[in-house]
Copies of this chain bind each other. A is one copy, B any other.
Amino acid sequence: MGATDARRPPVMADVAKEAGVSHQTVSRVLNDHPNVRGETRARVLAAIGKLGYRRNLVARALVTKHSRTLGVVSFDTTLYGPASTVYGIEQAARSAGYFVSIVSLKSIDRRGVLDALDYLADQGVDGIVVVAPQRSAATALTDLPGGIPTVAVEGGQAGGVPVVCVDQVEGGRLATEHLLSLGHETVWHVRGPSDWLEAEGRVAGWRAALAAAGRDGPEPLAGDWSPRSGYEAGRSLANMKDVTAVFVANDQMALGVLRAFTERGVRVPDQVSVVGFDDIPESEFFSPPLTTIRQDFDAVGRQSIEVLLRQIGGSGERERLVVSPSFVARASTAGR
């Protein structure tokens, strides 16, 4: 007891004195160095327990130049997709022994991303995951401050950095092919904002599937991912006579589309079939339950950490991991 007079937390030297060894030996025990006698190790451990010693990671970081902290830059973590991805990232990072420092941007322009990167670099993170679903964000990654390993999630062909993403084109294709296979003449599309790579990918998949079937693609309707924008697109679609199938770029907008159809008396799936994208927990309980494309955000998060850790470990290769989306059949689609 009373080893240290003042009420300050014990430091390594206190433990050393308590155990009757040098502070370096304490350090060796803490770092699992092989050359410590079992009995000595036990004595040190006992002293640590007795004093309630906790190693000061800041001091450690200063000398090792590794903070064991990873940075995450994301856009609006209120949305289900980013939230799930960040969640997966955080879980994976923590189980690998890393802290996670998060910067949530409200607008994800070039400037914002670079500022966030700088900010995290200042803090001394060992690596950074940028959830960069927008083109402007992805291009910001071409000229990084340098030195800090970085991986992009959903970053398309982001310059020089490794990427982990879901195959959006494939997803768009799956949705569209499903609708065509039900006998629909053509498929309309409510797309996401034009700056988003995910939106682009889904449009490309939709176009590709239509082209492969020899069909004309109508002009896509623009949305901004929000239920409201889907609602507005849905009102427009409800006014057109020849619409029988719609592929909506995310589930939230699909909800808006369904709402607009309900208001106008358009029955889904009897008159119009609707497919969404994401498979948020709610979509199974929409009216009708929504057929959609599932993205495994959790896997994306986990894989991005795996790639980042390899990058920190020194693997120089510029990996590109693509996670496949899957089709989820529910009640919002039917044949002609």
Contacts and interface: CB of A to CB of B under 8 A. Distances in A.
Interface of A: 9, 54-59, 61-62, 67, 69, 76-78, 80, 83-84, 86-87, 90-91, 94, 99-104, 106, 119, 121-124, 147, 226-228, 230-231, 252, 255-256, 258-259, 262, 281-282, 284-287, 289
Contacts of A76: 87
B77 A83 contact: yes
A104 B124 contact: no
A67 B61 CA distance: 12
Given A59-B62, A77-B77, A285 B227 contact: yes
Contacts of A9: 147
Contacts of A104: 87, 90-91
Contacts of A102: 90, 100-102
Contacts of A256: 285
Q: Is chain A's binding surface mostly helix, strand, loop or mixed?
A: helix
A180 to B, nearest CB: 27
Question: What is the oligomeric copy number?
Answer: 2
Nearest to A61: B58
Shortest 3 CB-CB contacts between residues of A and residues of B: A259-B285, A227-B285, A83-B83
Nearest to A289: B259
24 contacts: A54-B121, A56-B124, A58-B61, A58-B62, A58-B124, A59-B62, A76-B87, A77-B83, A83-B83, A91-B106, A94-B119, A99-B101, A99-B119, A99-B123, A100-B101, A100-B103, A227-B281, A227-B282, A227-B285, A252-B281, A255-B286, A259-B285, A259-B286, A282-B282
A104 B124 CA distance: 22
Task: Identify the interface centre among A84, A119, A259: most chain B CB within 10 Å of its CB.
Answer: A259
Contacts of A106: 91
A166 B317 CA distance: 49
A217 to B, nearest CB: 26
A80 B79 CA distance: 8
A72 to B, nearest CB: 9
Task: Identify the interface centre among A102, A228, A284: most chain B CB within 10 Å of its CB.
Answer: A102
Contacts of A258: 285, 287
Contacts of A83: 77-78, 83
Contacts of A284: 227-228
A250 to B, nearest CB: 11
